[in-house]
Amino acid sequence: MAGSALDTISDDEARARLVDQLLADGRITSPAVERAFRRVPRHLFAPDDVSIDATYADDVIITKRGPDGRATSSISAPWLQAMMLHAARLRPGARVLEIGSGGYNAALIAEVVGPHGNVTSIDIDPDVTAQARAALDSTGYPHVQVATADAETGRPAAAPYDAVIVTVEASDIPPAWIDQLAPEGILVVPLRMRGNTRCLTLTRETNHLIAIDSIVCGFVPMRGAAANSVTRRALRGDDVTLCIDDPDTQALNFDAQTSTLNGPHIEAWSAVTTPPATSFDSLHLWLASQPHPYGQLAVDRDRAADLEPQNWVACPALLTDDSITYLTIRRLDDTAWQFGARGYGPHAAPLTQHLLDLIADWDRHHRNTPGPHIAVYPNGTIPPPTDQPRLVVARRHSTTAITWTTSRSRA
């Protein structure tokens, strides 16, 4: 249970403030979800050392870390939980499978589906399920079923589900999730596609699934049978980490990359500008969608400030065996920032020009569209051919096709 004598606000006041904020931000858009957030005491699911203020901030709470210090479990940020509840289109009486437990989100789901609904929550970590079980029991949700199980197998015992809500980053869609979904069911899943994670709302369409909604998000990575981590390479000592989420790219020889960023660079600027405080998500996914070796740079801001990537955590980069070009940006004036490309290595010039061309294509054809069409094809089905730009992510159980159309027509 979170909170201490130092708290300046009661949990009731803090919860009311959070819900008011989520309503004002447009994150909560239905009375049922609002009621759930007003009722479920988030602080009773949080660790003891988290203050009431922090518990009811619109932010993630880390609840467990692995030996490397990385988070392995957390209570997701309220704004994202609210949006995922809406995405799942939950109705009273619905049967729901939550993959990735903690207790709090399962309690929210239980509130929304009501006494005639059915909620099952699974987690691979027995510590997490034990904690979730205890917190659910003590807060009035003993009817929520909690089990220790791997996401890969789902939970056939309580299927079929009207909604499967995955609260851990996936890179693939195991057959169990589709098999256990009711015919009109909805699968909400944070799917990593070449390093870009989008929480997709997937529905059945003949033999495959299509995304009817997509939210940029981040989650702790999947462990167990479906684990599929990105490859990380240290560059320039360990000032920079190159993250590669692409089996083809992994076939390249990246040993030569380790010192590429130590050398001289070229820089070139596109004609494309952006107003301050706008989202770069569409451009990032577009750059990842190219048939070119691609990675993302995580740059240490203190040690490598000179690199000036557009994004310090996940900056899009085009690669060859020995060269690298990444997205950069500079301020022109109060109203505009300009995109550019910075290249290192013997092939920096063509690589840099290629990145500028891609930025121009995005600006011309895709910047003001609703985004790509995303569809998941289970093994045994294949995406139909298209002449539109497309990223195909082939995994063990499924293939995801991210197709960029220049109009609203869908491939």
Ligand X SMILES: C[S@@+](CC[C@H](N)C(=O)[O-])C[C@H]1O[C@@H](n2cnc3c(N)ncnc32)[C@H](O)[C@@H]1O
Q: Which residues bind ligand X (CB under 6 A)?
A: 72-76, 98-105, 122-125, 128, 150-151, 167-168, 219-220, 222-224, 226
Cβ-based burial of 394 (10 A; exposed 0-12, middle 13-18, buried ≥19): middle
Residue whose CB is less far from ligand X, 97 or 351:
97
Q: Angle at the Cα of 63 (from 58 to 68), degrees rounded to 5?
A: 120
Structure tokens at 1: 């249970």
- Residues across the chain: 411
Cβ-based burial of 244 (10 A; exposed 0-12, middle 13-18, buried ≥19): buried
Residue whose CB is less far from ligand X, 49 or 306:
49
By 3-state DSSP, what share of the chain in percent is helix, strand and coil, each rounded to 5? Answer: 30, 30, 40
Let me know: does 248 contact 231? Beta carbons within 8 Å.
no
Nearest distance, CB of residue 149 and ligand X, angstroms: 7
Residue type, 61: I
Residue whose CB is less far from ligand X, 7 or 125:
125
Residues sharing a CB contact under 8 Å with residue 228, sequence separation 6 or more, in sequence order? 171, 172, 222, 395
Rounded-to-integer distance, Cα 65 and Cα 207, Å: 39
Q: Which residue has the tokens 């309220």?
A: 78
Let me know: does 124 contact 100? Beta carbons within 8 Å.
no
**Residue closest to 112 by CA, chosen among 33, 59, 49:** 33
Write down the catalytic residue from 51, 73, 76, 323. 76
Nearest distance, CB of residue 289 and ligand X, angstroms: 27
Rounded-to-integer distance, Cα 187 and Cα 219, Å: 16
Residue whose CB is less far from ligand X, 98 or 111:
98
Nearest distance, CB of residue 282 and ligand X, angstroms: 25
Residue whose CB is less far from ligand X, 220 or 243:
220
- Determine the straight-line distance between the first and last CA of the chain, rounded to whole angstroms: 50
DSSP 369-395: SS--EEEEEETT--PPP-SS-EEEEE-
Rounded-to-integer distance, Cα 115 and Cα 95, Å: 11
Rounded-to-integer distance, Cα 284 and Cα 282, Å: 5
Pairing of strands 390-394, 324-333: unpaired
Nearest distance, CB of residue 141 and ligand X, angstroms: 12
Residue whose CB is less far from ligand X, 35 or 223:
223
Nearest distance, CB of residue 252 and ligand X, angstroms: 29
Residue whose CB is less far from ligand X, 103 or 389:
103
Nearest distance, CB of residue 310 and ligand X, angstroms: 27
Structure tokens at 330: 């500079």
Residue whose CB is less far from ligand X, 96 or 202:
96
Nearest distance, CB of residue 75 and ligand X, angstroms: 4
Rounded-to-integer distance, Cα 317 and Cα 261, Å: 12
Nearest distance, CB of residue 4 and ligand X, angstroms: 22
**Residue closest to 124 by CA, chosen among 99, 160, 144:** 99
Catalytic annotation on 76? yes
**Residue closest to 84 by CA, chosen among 123, 28, 42:** 28
Residues marked active site are found at: 76
